């Protein structure tokens, strides 16, 4: 994910950061998303990043509820966060929550392997499959079989 974002952002002035970059939420809570994108200038040693536009929280069996509910609600309190992206861990799929202003509610959409994630707040578009490059996913035939069972 970071590789795809870095390649697309290039020298735009925005950059992706990994799980060591913190986001100040509310009441002195700091969260460390799986990835984020900011266009703010920050010292290389800074662990708290201002001006975050996009947050990525990868779902896992143990953290799904926290990522989809708790962290999403906390991120709403950060006015610069315009896009909250939840990549599926076992398949090509994203839940994308976006808003036009810091006090607006989230609008949700679902993206699959055929789609492109558009992030106008940082000036890039990334095919969903590109975000999963180098990730070992379950066999596509197994995913299709699982999909038919539900």
User: For position 138, what pLDDT does the model report?
Assistant: 76
pLDDT number for residue 59: 84
Grouped pLDDT means (10 residues each) for the chain, 150 residues: 92 91 87 93 79 91 85 90 93 94 91 96 95 80 51
Handedness of CA 98, 36, 113, 118 (dihedral sign): positive
Distance CA 48, CA 26 (A): 13
Q: Measured between alpha carbons, how far is 146 from 148 in angstroms, rounded to an integer?
A: 5
Name the residue among 106, 64, 61 with its Cα closest to residue 86.
64
CA distance 87 to 93: 6
pTM here?
0.86
* CA atoms of 139 and 12, how far apart (whole Å): 36
Q: Which CATH topology does 2-149 take? A: tt1808, chain A (3.90.1570)
Q: Where are the beta strands (DSSP E) in 2-77?
A: 15-17, 23-24, 30-31, 35-38, 52-56
Amino acid 141: pLDDT: 45
Rounded Cα distance, 61 and 23, in Å: 23
Q: 65: which 2 tokens? A: 């509820």
């Amino acid at each position: 994910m970071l590789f795809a974002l870095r390649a697309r952002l290039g020298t735009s002035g925005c950059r992706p950061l990994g799980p060591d970059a913190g986001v100040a939420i509310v009441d002195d809570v700091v969260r460390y998303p799986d990835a984020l994108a900011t266009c703010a200038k920050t010292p290389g040693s800074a662990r708290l990043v201002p001006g975050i536009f996009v947050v990525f929280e990868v779902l896992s069996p143990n953290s799904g509820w926290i990522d989809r509910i708790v962290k999403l609600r906390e991120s709403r309190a950060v006015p610069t966060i315009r896009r909250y992206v939840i990549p599926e861990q076992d398949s090509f799929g994203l839940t994308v929550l976006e808003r036009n202003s810091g006090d607006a509610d989230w609008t949700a959409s679902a993206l699959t392997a055929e789609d492109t994630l558009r992030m106008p707040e940082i000036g890039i578009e990334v095919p969903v499959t590109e975000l999963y490059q180098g990730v070992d996913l379950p066999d596509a035939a197994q995913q299709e079989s699982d999909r038919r069972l539900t």
